[in-house]
Structure 1
Amino acid sequence: MKLALIHATTTALDPIVRAFYEAGNEVELLHFMDTGLLSMMEEYGSLTPEIIQRFSLLVNLAAQSDVNCIQLTCSAFNNVTNILQPLYPIKLFRSDEAMLDEALAYERIGLVSTVRETPIALMSYLREKNPSVKVKSLVEPGLIHLLFQGKKDQHDEQVMKMVHKLEGEVDAIVLSQYSMEHIADQVHSSVPILTAPRASAKRCLTYLKTMCSP
């Protein structure tokens, strides 16, 4: 079995690879990346035709690589799956859908994001599944760039402050980017902290086992 991972940032690589390893590395992972996509999203602020066309180049490459499914790892681009899925027979998984399905078990959900466009994609999914869901979002646009600059401690400190700010106002907190996954093991919170890599890996493997079983 082979699975394609589509990345818009290098910070997603380690969390998702580690998640598949921990879940039982029964699948070959192929990586497709375009780090220019995030800059385009930050510039345009939404999924423009130019972004969709450029993103589709990665999906085309993945689809031509004899993979069994495709997993996105950058939450800001999740809504592109609604646009591109009808064009491909291969299943495209959003980066966050498994995690958000877990979050929907809670009445009040907090979102912590470090890319401005991410909450839009996450909230559209949550409200499509449950129009009455209560969502409180905190976002620090561009904070993810601290990781690109090697300022991990500064990044983590700011994210943990956002987590603590949401405590008491929500029943669960979602760390929206794969790049924040490691913080779930560092922060002490009174409510559950949900992250996407492990949930995504588990869902992908379950799908592949079902699809490829005799």
Structure 2
Amino acid sequence: MKIALIHATTTALKPIERAFQTVAPNIELLHFMDTGLLALMEKSGKLTPEIIRRFSALVNLAYDSRVSCIQLTCSAFNGITSILQPLYPVKLFRSDEAMLDEALRYSTIGLISTVKETPIALQNYLLDKNPDCKIVSLVDPGIIHLLSQGRRKEHDDRVKKMVKQLDGKTEVILLSQYSMEHVAKQINPSVPILTAPLLSAKRCLDHLNGTFR
């Protein structure tokens, strides 16, 4: 079986590959990427027609490759799944829906983000599922780019600072970007901390096995 992964940044590649290697090493992964999308999103702050066209081009390539499902890896573009899903018979998974569904077990949820457009996409999903959940969001806009600049320690320290600010104020903390997954291994907050890659890979596998609807 083949699964398509759609990226807007190279920083998502290793986290999602590690996740699939853990849960489904025999699955063939096909990568489709447009690194210009994130800059467009940061400039516009919303899904513009240009972003949708460019994103749909990636989905078209993925679908034409006869994949069994399509997994997004950039949370800022999650809203596009509801736009494009009716056009394709294969399942399009948001980058973080498995993580968010897990987070909904808690009544107060902390969001840590490094892209300023991400919190809105995540909060909309959570509040649509449970209007009564309390969300506390912290964002350090743009520090995701520190990773591609070779400034990983600075990136990680700033993420850990946000986690420390939230620790104890919510029942669970979410690291919104795939690129923060490695930071979870460096910290030990007093509440559970969730990342998306492994949970997303497991959900894809459940879908392929017919155990997720």
Scaled by the length of structure 1, the TM-score of the pair is 0.97
Q: Partners in 1 of 2:25 and 2:129 — Cα distance?
A: 31
- Aligned-pair CA distance for 1:133: 0.8
Q: Partners in 2 of 1:72 and 1:168 — Cα distance?
A: 31
Matched, 1:102 2:128: no
Read off the aligned partner of 1:44 and give its amino acid letter. S
Q: Partners in 2 of 1:107 and 1:114 — Cα distance?
A: 23
Provide runs of 4+ in structure 1 moved above 2 Å. Answer: none
Secondary structure of 1:131's counterpart equals: coil
Read off the aligned partner of 1:39 and give its amino acid letter. A
- Aligned-pair CA distance for 1:24: 2.8
Q: Partners in 2 of 1:130 and 1:87 — Cα distance?
A: 28
**Which blocks of at least 5 consecutive residues in structure 1 are unaligned?**
none
Counterpart in the other structure of 1:123: 123
- Aligned-pair CA distance for 1:210: 1.6
Matched, 1:76 2:80: no
Read off the aligned partner of 1:183 and give its amino acid letter. V
Residue-pair matches, total: 211
> What is the alpha-carbon root mean square deviation over aligned residues?
0.8
Per-residue CA deviation, residues 66-115 of structure 1 (Å, 9 max, x unaligned), is 10000000000001001000111110000000000000000100000000
- Aligned-pair CA distance for 1:11: 0.2
Matches within 5 A, 1:30-179: 30-179=30-179
Counterpart in the other structure of 2:16: 16
**Which blocks of at least 5 consecutive residues in structure 2 are unaligned?**
none
- Aligned-pair CA distance for 1:26: 2.7
- Aligned-pair CA distance for 1:154: 0.4
Q: Partners in 2 of 1:42 and 1:2 — Cα distance?
A: 31
Scaled by the length of structure 2, the TM-score of the pair is 0.98
Q: Partners in 2 of 1:61 and 1:131 — Cα distance?
A: 36
- Aligned-pair CA distance for 1:25: 1.1
Q: Partners in 2 of 1:150 and 1:118 — Cα distance?
A: 23
- Aligned-pair CA distance for 1:49: 1.1
Identity among equivalent positions (%) equals 68
